[in-house]
């Protein structure tokens, strides 16, 4: 079983590789390959992850196996900037669970559950009272998984992949 630990600067390349592999799985079937490629190039590159790992406003955890990374999460500190999210998240202080991605070979094996449980413990250590996330409204597997992990749908938001707007659910877990 992989072990959950804080991400280190040396993980940047492996994180970018895992993100490029798993991000398309979170998009609905109609998403254009160009929009996905643009999103990966601009927000999930090695340089992007180097920036996230150096950012004191972000907390990254990885699920690490001897053969490589099995998954990762990213928490982002601070008040929600999106007006729809700010309206949906009524319990403060809060923190965003910005990314939850598990290698497809590890889906359905408890890796994601262990990773998110450790991430919620880390959020408790931050002193927040809720955790929020955005998930595509067609991503039934992730929505089911978040429901099992203590999150409930709290409202809608629009999320852009490239220049394409997507309908997300805002989901919130109370700590
Ligand atoms: C989301 C993710 C982290 C969840 O991890 P996982 O190992 O797949 O999660 P689990 O198998 O524990 O839970 C998924 C649940 O959805 C169910 N499920 C699977 N496919 C489904 C579908 N098409 N519709 C509805 N439910 C589905 C599973 O049966 C399971 O529920 P159960 O335990 O009651 O049987 C993982 O699937 C992932 O990384 N996906 C790709 C990236 C992604 O979408 N990330 C989220 C972005 S917000």
Peptide bond into 93 cis (omega under 30): yes
The predicted pLDDT at position 5 comes to 98
Q: Is the pLDDT of residue 162 over 90?
A: no
Q: Is the pLDDT of residue 109 over 90?
A: yes
Q: Residue 1 has which token pair?
A: 């079983």
Q: Is the pLDDT of residue 113 over 90?
A: yes
Q: Is the pLDDT of residue 87 over 90?
A: yes
Rounded to the nearest angstrom, the distance between the alpha carbon of 148 and the centre of ligand 1 is 10
Helix (H), strand (E), coil (C) string for 20-85: HHHHHHHCCCCCCHHHHHHHHHHHCCHHHHHHHHHCCCEEEEEEEECCEEEEEEEEEECCCCCHHH
Q: Is the pLDDT of residue 163 over 90?
A: no
pTM, 2 dp: 0.97
Q: Does the domain made of 3-174 have the CATH classification 3.30.70.100?
A: no
Q: Residue 122 has which token pair?
A: 């880390």
Q: Is the pLDDT of residue 106 over 90?
A: yes
Confidence of residue 29 (pLDDT cuts 50, 70, 90): confident
Can you give the residue ranges of every domain in the chain?
3-174
Q: Which of 71, 111, 144 to mutate to test the pocket of ligand 1 (most atoms within 8 A of CB)?
A: 144
Rounded to the nearest angstrom, the distance between the alpha carbon of 144 and the centre of ligand 1 is 6
Measured CA distances, 32 to 74, 78, 113 (Å):
25, 31, 30
pLDDT above 90 covers a percentage of the chain that reads: 95
* CA diameter of the chain: 42
The predicted pLDDT at position 1 comes to 83
Rounded to the nearest angstrom, the distance between the alpha carbon of 102 and the centre of ligand 1 is 10
| Average of per-residue pLDDT values in the chain | 97
């Amino acid at each position: 079983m992989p072990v959950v630990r804080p991400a280190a600067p040396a993980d940047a390349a492996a994180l970018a590789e895992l993100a490029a592999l798993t991000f398309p799985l979170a998009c609905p079937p109609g998403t254009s390959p160009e929009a996905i490629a643009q999103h990966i190039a601009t927000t999930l590159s090695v340089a992007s992850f180097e920036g996230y790992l150096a950012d004191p406003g972000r907390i990254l955890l990885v699920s690490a196996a001897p053969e490589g990374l099995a998954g990762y999460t990213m928490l982002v500190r601070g008040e929600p900037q999106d007006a729809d999210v700010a309206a949906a998240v009524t319990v403060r202080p809060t923190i965003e669970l910005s990314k939850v991605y598990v290698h497809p070979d590890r889906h359905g094996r408890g890796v994601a559950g262990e990773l998110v449980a450790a991430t919620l413990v880390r959020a408790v250590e931050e002193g927040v009272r809720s955790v929020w996330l955005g998930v595509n409204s067609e991503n039934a597997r992730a929505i089911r998984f978040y429901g099992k992990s203590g999150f409930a749908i709290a409202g809608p938001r629009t999320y852009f992949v490239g220049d394409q707007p997507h309908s997300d659910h805002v989901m919130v877990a109370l700590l």
